[in-house]
Structure 1
Amino acid sequence: MERKRPGASKDELRWIAFIVVVILVWSSASAQIRYSIAEGVNEGTAVGNIAKDLGLEKNTLKERGCRIVEGSSESFFHVDQNDGILYVDRIIDREKVCERNIACLINLKTVLENPLEIHYVTVEIQDVNDHAPSFSVKQYRLEISESVLPGLRLQLQAAHDPDVGQFSVQEYKLSPNNHFRLEVKDRGKEGKIPILVLLKTLDRETKKIHKLLLSAIDGGKPSKSGTAEIFIDVLDVNDNMPVFNEDTYSVLVNENTPTGTTIVKVNASDLDEGSNGELIYSLGSNVNHRIRELFRVDPNTGEIIIQDVLDFESEESYEIDIQASDKGSAPLRTVKRFSNVSSIIPTAICTLLKVYL
């Protein structure tokens, strides 16, 4: 028996040849090329030689009706039917076309009408560092109580930069100061977020307002930056006692001094702010009823006023406690005592009052 030599039959060979032809034709009719240009290039800038890259005869482009079809309603490119080169029709703003997408691709179709032939072209628009970081608010205020302990963290407003990648915001810096430092948290697609951290307790009586400068810097070379001012108002805490301005007050009062006469005016001060620093004056809680009948204190001015007749024969001297109290929610008080030093003056009978802590 004669054995058949191994190999493909004629029918099989014809079928393989047909498939190869189809693949070649399909490849030539749907070739895809890719170009890359920077955003913002001038109108008329050459992108690439489509005729050469697709293996097309330049002298046939016009006859075959070569044209570009874009995927969007906006037209950015055209092909010159004389030289087969793809040109920019108008300046491209990458941030407008692709917003903040990492890859900015414009897909085109190169169409030849006769015979019909379609080729796909992709143009990548590369980002350039044409924007600086900016804050939506150039100045903003924060309020921090002076009682707040170190470690407080306050998230600040992030800067915006339309550019992407290395040209977006890469770091934040804070102006040198003794009370705050800056942390930067990377939140992926949301970008980097600045966080203000309190290093040491604030003292409103030492410094009421802290002014800081926050800078956002991109990764361009040279880099671009934007700034915002931060004003931190230190809120008062009632942490200061009222203090009398004089160590001692003394006065000689004739026993026939008319009622309603001011014999002395005391004055105290408080370093706190607002109601915590507003003072009212009064007689001390331990002052007896007789002294209360003879003297009163104007709560606003600190004036000590006689309100009944003084009688040297009944009492040569008086000791009076005067209290200065602030108006804080938990008031702080300071008391001074008026101590009478007895002195008999026959021709001018008087009462001597002396004030001391």
Structure 2
Amino acid sequence: MAMCVCWGPVVRVLVLQAAWALGGGQVRYSVPEEAKAGTVVGRLAQDLGLEAGEPEARRLRLAAQGRRASVEVSGASGALVVSSRLDREELCGKSAPCALRLEVLVERPLRVFHVELEVTDINDNAPLFPAARKNLSIAELSLPGSRFPLEGASDADIGANAQLSYTLSPTEHFRLDLQKAEEDVEFLFLVLAKPLDRETVPVHRLVLTASDGGRPPLTGRMELVISVLDANDNAPQFNQSVYKVQLPENTERGTLVIRVSATDLDEGTNRNISYSLQHLFPQDGRDVFGIDRNSGEIRVRGDLDYEDVGLYRLQVDAADQGNPPLSGHCKVVVEVVDANDNAPEVWVTSLSVPVPEDAAVGTVVALLSVSDRDSGANGRVRCAVWPAAPFGLVATFAGSYSLVLREALDRERVPEYEVEVRAEDGGAPPLRASRGVRVPVSDVNDNAPAFAQAVYTVLARENNAAGAELARLWARDPDEAGNGRVSYSVAEGGVGGAAVGAGWRPASSYVSVDAESGRLWALQPLDYEELQVLQFEVRAVDAGEPPLCGNATVQLFVVDENDNAPALLPPAGGGPGPGSAGEAASGPGSGALWAWAAWGAPAGQVVAKIRAVDADSGYNAWLRYELWEPRGKGPFRVGLYSGEVSTARALEEADGPRQRLVIVVRDHGEPSRSATATLSVSLVEGAEAALAAAGSSSSSSSSGAGLRPGAGAEGGAAAATATATATTNVWLVVAICAVSSLFLLAVVLYGASRWAPRAAVLSGPGPATLVCASEVGSWSYSQRQSRSLCVADGAGKSDLMVFSPNFPPPPGPAAENGSPGKGPFLSPLASRAAGKCPARLPEELRETPGARLEAALPHERDRSPVPAVAGVSPASSAKPGGL
């Protein structure tokens, strides 16, 4: 039993020693600063494993410190207690955490234990401003938003106890602005919120309060005395609000750090500026930098030590010499860079330029040599090339590199490269150097000329002068010199068939292209009636070896000009005789025509119809009819677009036996062209009008259209005789019989013309040609090989006529005007269906059945004019005889 008692303490000591060996032999305690003397920090003896009485027996104590310790070990209890005032700010300053390292000695046997005592911060320091009062002078004319820097307060505490917030006593003229920059740096500004008025309040007294983040918070105050200055209303202004400079720590005294410059818009002494320097951080570094009051040059006056201070914050004030003076402010941040004062050096030992754009990947462009006079890590250099493509660096041996091609080149995309070789050593921080290498790329012929458009549409007016410029073509070749020099030529294309007569004609007979400029010229005047569209290809060839070429298609559209006057159409069944339509049409552009009208005919009755055609197209072929004579309120009128002559009112005997009408046919061209038709209308009794109509029907039934022409002197005598005997019943009976006979004859002839002639036409040689004419008198036909028929739905009458190309042309000048060789023609209304007519037609045209008929025509580009024939037909002749 005694043996167990003896070995018990030894075992405890061994266990304690093993625990201390494993734990590092260190005890940690924490005590708040400003703790009262006698405050127990920790049970040191118990934590060290000593039993009651052992601390005093083994003389547990603290080892002597270099300075007076603020804690001690109680001899009786072995507790660590506070012996004197603990001030964290005095012990550790701004360092966090604040830890004191203590050594505890135990004798019998002698052992040393390490105790770490952390002194925690309490909010025992109130914010402190540099001065209790700050005087500011602000010009009366300062604009709202003007900023004035203030020196903030400082707090010796750390953490939340040192986080400051600012408030300003109530005022409507000023407010505070706290800006946070990098590295938790705060800048405090007084901002003018409302314009000042010196005459109202010459001095503003404000209280600036700084509160920390402790619980409870502590505050510090500074009085701001703001004097409002009058005049000199422009303060000096710096071009930057913050300047940043880096200086190596071995910078010699007198070295220029930076030159700040402020400008003042005033004149005279008000713009003379003097500079002053204030050290914001650290405040004890006022002898390190100095500023020249006149030039604004900041130079090094003391020694820089990166380990002591790595960052300086300076405030430069620029004050003018006005009365009172105004000042501007800026911040200068100086960063001290540590050692490594030799930068790498790069040389270009060999350069092979220019590089062909078809050079192979791996081609060596330049040889480089890199070195650094430093040693160790500061002398080990890493190299890179920028931009990373299309070049790269290949290390050949120590300090030597080859600049090689990594990707294919394209001179048209990048004609020249500015390559920068960058070298960086292994220092901390590393120093860098660079060398620029200019690498031009030489051209090869790898791009064919390319036109801006695959198809060019060119509009040319007909009757243009030979040699007129039609268009300018341009092909782009991004190559240079001869590889990009382009020449132009007409490659292929032409026109053939009936549009240009017999045979095929190449495009080069119509147009030519300038080999150098690409200008397209007309070799001869163009005629729309012969040629509407010319399509050909233009080739662009460069001067490279081998040459490359590109093509573009040119579609030349000839725009119609109003170069054809309207031509009157003769009656299809006109017979010879004095004043007949055939003789009247002997003169081009005019004609004398005859028609009959009965007395008492109601208003609106159609008497005759003037027909005309224009070889032009579009508006130039759109015809209108005007009654030229007689002017005023006559008994007749003419349809503006139909050409139908009808009664304007009921005919009376007072109108006389004969009316002479002069009708002018005009097109819509600019300037317009016209033709004149003279129509003589004989006014007779109703019976004679019926005889005349029956005779006209019998003479024209075989052709299915036309108007019986006037019979001259013989016709006039017959009319007089009929008038003298009109009251005799015998002659009346004879007339009735004659009319009945003529009617029967007309029915027989109608049947014959309905079957036999139509069959002959449909079975005749050659392709049938469809001719459609509406009530407005516009004619067109289509060169279709199939036989077609145009019928207007609901039309009261139709001017549809079918002709066979093997029919002989009508006699007279009409055949000459309609000679073969003319190009396709499209009337104004028919051209509307093909996309060439006016966008909007008059209301009268849009409502006529003929307009609806022409709208149903197939859309065809190739049109030809109807042979020009003059004539007049009554309204009843509008129906073709065979339909």
Q: Is the aligned partner of 1:35 residue 2:6? A: no
SS in 1 for 2:56: coil
Give me the whole-angstrom Cα distance separating, in 2, the residues matched to 1:198 and 1:165. 32
The answer for the alignment partner of 1:116 in structure 2 is: 110
Partner of 1:237: 231
- 1:42 and 1:90 in contact (8 A); partners too: yes
User: How much has 1:192 moved relative to structure 2?
Assistant: 4.3
Task: Pick 1 or 2: higher relative contact order, CA cutoff 8 A, min separation 6.
Answer: 1
Q: Is 2:97 aligned against 1:103?
A: yes
How far residue 133 of structure 1 moved from its aligned partner, in angstroms, is 1.7
User: Residue in 1 aligned with 2:214?
Assistant: 220
- 2:29 maps to a residue whose letter is Y
| Amino acid paired to 1:84 | G
1:209 aligned residue: 203
Q: Give the stretch that moved more between structures: 41-50 or 80-89.
A: 80-89
TM-score by length of 1: 0.56
Matching residue of 2:121: 127
Matched, 1:49 2:43: yes
Q: Does 1:146 align with 2:149?
A: no
Q: Distance in 1 between matches of 2:206 and 2:23?
A: 63
Equivalent pair of 1:184/1:195 in contact (CA under 8 Å): yes
Unmatched segments (≥5 aa) in structure 1: 1-20, 240-327, 330-357
CA distance in 2, matches of 1:226, 1:113: 52
Q: Are 2:159 and 1:165 equivalent residues in the alignment?
A: yes
Structure 1 residue 197 corresponds to structure 2 residue 195:
no
Aligned residue type for 2:102 = L
Q: What is the percent sequence identity of the aligned residues?
A: 39
Where do 1:1-357 residues align within 5 Å? 24=18, 27=21, 30-69=24-63, 71-186=65-180, 192-237=186-231
- Please give the secondary structure, in 1, of the residue aligned with 2:53: helix
Alpha-carbon shift at residue 163 of structure 1 (Å): 2.0
Contact 1:30 1:119 in 2 (8 A): no
Distance in 2 between residues matched to 1:168 and 1:49, nearest whole Å: 32
SS at match of 2:115: strand
CA distance in 2, matches of 1:161, 1:24: 46
How far apart, in 1, do the equivalents of 2:214 and 2:51 lie? 43
In 2, Cα distance between equivalents of 1:29 and 1:200: 66
Amino acid at match of 2:60: C
Amino acid at match of 1:142: L
Distance 1:71 1:187, change over 3 A: farther
Partner of 2:670: none
Q: Is the 8 A contact 1:31 1:120 kept in 2?
A: yes
Cα gap change, 1:32 to 1:54, in 2 (>3 Å): same
Q: Could you say what secondary structure the match of 1:61 adopts? A: helix
Give the whole-Å Cα distance in 2 for the aligned partners of 1:66 and 1:39. 25
**Distance of 1:166 and 1:54 partners within structure 2:** 35
**Structure 1 residues 89, 201: closer, same or farther in 2, change over 3 A?**
same
Aligned residue type for 2:138 = I
Structure 2 SS opposite 1:167: helix
Structure-2 separation of matches of 1:238 and 1:144 = 11
SS in 2 for 1:62: helix
Task: Give the unaligned 5+ runs of structure 2.
Answer: 1-14, 234-321, 324-883
The 1:70–1:158 alpha-carbon spacing in structure 2 relative to 1, beyond 3 Å, is: farther
Report the AA paired with residue 230 of structure 1: L
Change (3 A) 1:187 1:47: farther
Q: Across the two proteins, how many residue pairs are aligned to each other?
A: 222
- Say if 1:209 and 1:24 are closer, same or farther in 2 by CA, change over 3 A: same
Q: Secondary structure at the match of 1:134?
A: coil
Q: Give the aligned residue type for 1:225.
A: T
Matched residue SS, 2:91: helix
Q: Whose radius of gyration is greater, 1 or 2?
A: 2
Counterpart Cα distance in 2 of 1:70 and 1:192: 43
Aligned equivalents of 1:138 and 1:173: distance in 2? 15
- After superposition, the Cα gap between the structure-2 partners of 1:91 and 1:80, relative to the gap in structure 1 and judged at 3 Å, is same
Question: SS state of the match for residue 76, structure 2?
Answer: coil
The structure-2 alpha-carbon separation of the partners of 1:37 and 1:26, relative to structure 1 and needing over 3 Å to count, comes to closer
Distance 2:107 2:23 in 1: 12
TM-score when normalising by structure 2: 0.24
Q: CA RMSD in A?
A: 3.0
